[in-house]
Structure formats: structure tokens, C-alpha cells
Amino acid sequence: MNNFKNDEDIFILFAHASYQLNEGFKTHNLKYKSKQVYTYDDLKSNIDKADILCVSGLWDNNLIDLAKNLKYIQLTGVGYNDFDLEKLKSRGIKLSNAVGLNRIVVAEHTMSLILSLSRFLHIARDNQNKKYWAPFISNPAERQAEINGKTAVIFGLGDIGNTIAKFCKNFGMKVIGVKRNTNVKLDNVDKLVHTSEFQNIVKEADYLIISSSLNNETEGIINKKIFEKMKPESYLVNVARGGCVNEPDLINALDNNLIKGAALDHLSTEPLDQNNPLWEYENVIITPHSAGETPNYETVVPEIIIENIKRLKSKNNELLHKVI
């Protein structure tokens, strides 16, 4: 922040379609100028004045050329696959995410999805809307089940994945983790395998949980080959990016009973296209990218920004949650 003589010169632009981040920032009563925008068009119109941008969902890389004064971008979440990192580096723009902010709530959401699938809560709600009292189920294999003793295979053991593993263990599940670096000790993982063994280990999963980032290695990693190795009574739970799952292959797996069902928090498009077949499956739960929803954004994200401004002003480039 060497270009700023006074705090009053720093302009922070908050861009989010819903969260009132500037309101949370203002509670700190600092001298920095700030503004909130809620649409892409307003972001585009104001980004040329911004020294700092806090953004989620409204970003595209065309904005980089308009951001003449931008020094630092703060994300409200973890994923940064939408950002052209090389172009940001070439412009000297720093990028930080908010890793850890929503790890608890995403893990809780994951367990909610697992419990809903096992206890047929989504079907019960559908029946409630139809005023239908479902009878007891004669066939043991078709009944609601317990998750105690079941196996969760977790692909992606970062901050969120490790918290999911802890919660699964608290429910008495066996946990198998899939990770590139297996030279680590993880307290809540019964077995840790390298990503190269992923296709073989999925056959043990009662619940295959995806909590990885989206990158060149993970895009479409849940595909036909994976579904063909899964047990027909197993479930897919995706709280990562929709791009990790090959949707046509998932639809084929559901149509051919390769898996018992799925719970999906993120899909190919947001909002999900109304013509997407996944809306129609009784054994699929869809949540609208809400796994990370928490009341803490307006509190925690401004605190990260304030600390990182202090570091930049003192020429300390090691920002909190630094990406580049």
C-alpha cells in the first residue's frame, strides 16, 4: 500500500449479490472509504476506483483491465478457480481467500445431507406436501438406514474435508481419506490413500463425499469410471464445485441404478437450468450452493481485510489466507 499517504485515500469496494459486507465493515469505524454493490453492472462501473475489492460470484476476468488502481482482492469463500492468477500476478494484484471461515457450517451441511439421504427426509417432505402418510417398508434393503458403521470416502482433505471427517467419526462412521500428500497424520481418518488409488477405493464407499477444490486435476473427476466402481447402494455427496462431477455421467448412473442417490450443493450452472433432468429425481437432494451459508460473513471477512490492509501498509506481503 505504498501509494497511499492517508487512510482516507484507500477505497474498498464490496461486491456481493446478497451479503451486506459493507455494513459489517462500517461497524469498525475506520477512515477508509467503502461502498457496496450488488450487481455485475455496478461492479463494472465502480471497479476503476477500487484499491481493494471484496467479491464473490460477480467476478469475471474482463474486470482486470478496468481495475486500474486495484492492489488486493479478498474473496468471501475458498474457491478461486474463476480468477486468472497469471494476469493478476502480472498486474501486481494480490488475492486472498477466506479459508476456514465456513468449514464448520459446510461440514454440518454435509452431515445434514448424509442424514437426509439415509433417513429419507427429502422423501418425507415430498410426501408431506402431498399429504401422503407413507407405510412401513417391508423389504429391509429399501428401508431407512443408520449411518453408524457406514464408510465415508472423502475426496479432498483440506480444512473443510478434515472437519467433515471429524463429524463422520463422531457419528461412528469409518473414514477413508483421499489426498495427494499421504505423508501426514490425520486424527479422524481411519485410512489415507493417494489420489492415484481413488478409482479403486470408491468401491468401499457408502457415502462418497467430494470436498476438493476445482482445478485441472479435479474437473470431471467423478465420472462414469467412478460410478461403475461404486456400490449400487452408495450415495454421492458433493459440497465442492459442480465441475468436479460429470453431470451426464451422474444422470446415467442414476438412470441405471449404479448408485442409490446423490446430494448436490453445486451444479453445472447457477441457478440450475430448469430443464436439467436432475430436478426430477426423487433420490437426489439439491441445495442452492448454500452449504457455506453462515451469519458470520459480515463479521469475519471485514476483519480479514482490515488485518491485510495493515500488512500491506507495512510492506508485509504475507497476507492472511494468501493465494497469490
- Per-residue pLDDT tens over the stretch 186-232: 999 999 999 999 999 999 999 999 999 999 999 999 999 999 999 99
Average model confidence (pLDDT) across the chain: 95
Q: What is the pLDDT of residue 324?
A: 95
Is 53 within 8 Å of 15 (Cβ atoms)? yes
pLDDT category at 144 given cuts 50, 70, 90 is: very high
Q: How large is the average pLDDT for residues 126-138?
A: 97
For 266-284, the pLDDT digits (tens) are: 998 889 999 999 999 999 9
For cell 501486481, the residue is 92
Per-residue pLDDT at 1: 54
State the angle between helix axes of 103-119 and 121-129 in degrees (0 to 180), rounded to the nearest 10: 70
2 has pLDDT over 70? no
pLDDT over threshold 80, residue 132: yes
At residue 4, the pLDDT reads 63
Closest CA to 310 of 20, 127, 72, 26: 72
pLDDT in tens, 288-323: 999 999 999 999 999 999 999 999 999 998 999 999
Q: How crowded is residue 231: how many other Cβ atoms within 10 Å of its Cβ?
A: 16
Residue for grid cell 469496494? 13
C-alpha pair distances (Å), 46 with each of 14, 70, 90: 10, 11, 22
Report the alpha-carbon distance of residue 10 to residue 50 in Å, rounded.
8
Residues 30-37, mean pLDDT to the nearest whole number: 96
Nearest Cα neighbor of 170 from 195, 196, 148, 194 is: 148
Terminal CA-CA length for the chain: 16
Inform me whether the pLDDT recorded for 124 exceeds 90: yes
Amino acid 100: pLDDT: 87
Mean pLDDT of 251-257: 98
The pLDDT of residue 5: 61
Q: pLDDT at position 79, please? A: 85
DSSP H or E run through 225: helix 224-229
Q: Give the pLDDT mean for 38-44.
A: 97
Quick one: pLDDT band at residue 247, thresholds 50, 70, 90? very high
Span 43-99, pLDDT tens digits: 999 999 999 999 998 999 999 999 999 999 999 988 898 999 999 999 999 999 998
- The confidence score (pLDDT) of residue 78 equals 86
Cα–Cα distance for residue pair 169/268, rounded to 1 Å: 31
pLDDT higher than 80, residue 12: yes
What grid cell was written down for 223? 465420472
Does the pLDDT at position 3 exceed 90?
Answer: no
Question: What pLDDT, on the 0 to 100 scale, is given for residue 151?
Answer: 98
